[in-house]
Copies of this chain bind each other. A is one copy, B any other.
């Protein structure tokens, strides 16, 4: 203990350097085939080509009558109808006649325009009082009017989705449209979340003296689940090498990425880094980042059972843990999942009050308020930003990126425009 370093032996790097190092180790996961209905949120690993046109026949855009545009306005004999789902080749329209069509129905042969029912009048009906015999077209139709030509939405052979596309609801709808029921996607990385600390206990147990309840696993598991990444709970490890070794080994057996909290400060019981290097032959890529909160954030990689594993050692303070997870783990997840843009979305916002700057760049929790007619949202601080105070993260919508204080600039006045990282996108 007396011989331990009294300052971190690791160089202090910037947040952007730290993220760059993490992303340089983020290999895209392997591809797998999943049922289309389960592919929401995955990235496509193949191009999707349409094998048939949409619509597969010229189709009506309106409920109305298929006509010859050259007939102009005036009376038409109603010669049957073409309903959605009927066989397109059965009907034919000749001059002076029309066929009733509904939206999506095939256009009968000969017709080159549709007149919507609103632009027609009944002229003559059959004695049964139900069948239309003649109608009147009120406005002369133009050629092609209210007809979707064959293949106008999707042509045969058209690439409708490219490899690398994130599959959202509309993209799944497109897969359904072209009849793709199984699809090749990029797998997602799997996570294990481990809390460390002699003082921690699971939230369900009666609080013991000198202890606090662990919240980090709950928060981080929820954060990963919120973005649909598979995560296992790796429990709580004690601050001793044996407990850490056992917990880490079990976690690495179950996951691609291990996220730990605690054990990365300068205390003599902060043993994550020594255990990683000595027992897992891990390489520590960084262990000090110039940021608040989150300074002791640690990143390591190792080979384990023939696989490359990534280890993110986050600080144990609850706010530090969730802020650093947002800054580093979400982009990492997105890159490994094959997304082309993996950065967190940042917008600009106006400070509602002046904010005192910290010597380190700070990620300040805030609510955003959009008002009609105003370009930028107003950012309201969630209050006391102590990194143990998880309340400052509750209901926060954004992390404001505040610059470090300088001798000239100790605070930002209200109305200053700052970058705001959106927490739910």
Contact = CB atoms under 8 A, between A and B. Distances in A.
Interface of A: 1-3, 6-7, 36-37, 40-41, 52, 54-57, 61-63, 81, 83-88, 100, 102-106, 116-118, 120-122, 125-126, 129-132, 148, 152-154, 160-161, 165-166, 168-181, 197-200, 203-204, 207, 209-223, 225-226, 239, 265-270, 316-318, 322, 345-348, 370, 374-377, 386, 388-391, 393-396, 417, 422, 424-425
Given A117-B267, A153-B391, A168-B424, 8 more contacts: A1-B132, A85-B197, A87-B210, A88-B209, A102-B265, A153-B389, A169-B218, A172-B222
A198 B83 contact: yes
A121 B197 contact: no
A55 to B, nearest CB: 6
A105 B398 CA distance: 31
B197 A318 contact: no
Contacts of A207: 52, 56, 179
Contacts of A2: 122, 125-126, 129-132
Contact of A370 (B83, B154, B347): B347
Best-surrounded residue of A169, A215, A393 (most CB of chain B within 10 A): A169
A163 to B, nearest CB: 14
A212 B396 contact: no
Chain A binding surface, main DSSP class: loop
Given A154-B391, A198-B85, A322 B63 contact: no
A176 B311 CA distance: 24
B394 A148 contact: no
B40 A165 contact: no
What are the 8 A-B residue pairs with the smallest beta carbon separation, nearest first?
Answer: A85-B198, A102-B267, A173-B219, A63-B267, A170-B393, A85-B199, A84-B199, A169-B222
25 contacts: A2-B132, A6-B117, A7-B118, A40-B222, A40-B225, A52-B207, A56-B211, A57-B210, A83-B198, A84-B269, A88-B210, A102-B267, A102-B268, A103-B267, A103-B316, A105-B199, A118-B266, A170-B322, A170-B390, A170-B395, A172-B219, A173-B215, A174-B391, A176-B219, A177-B318
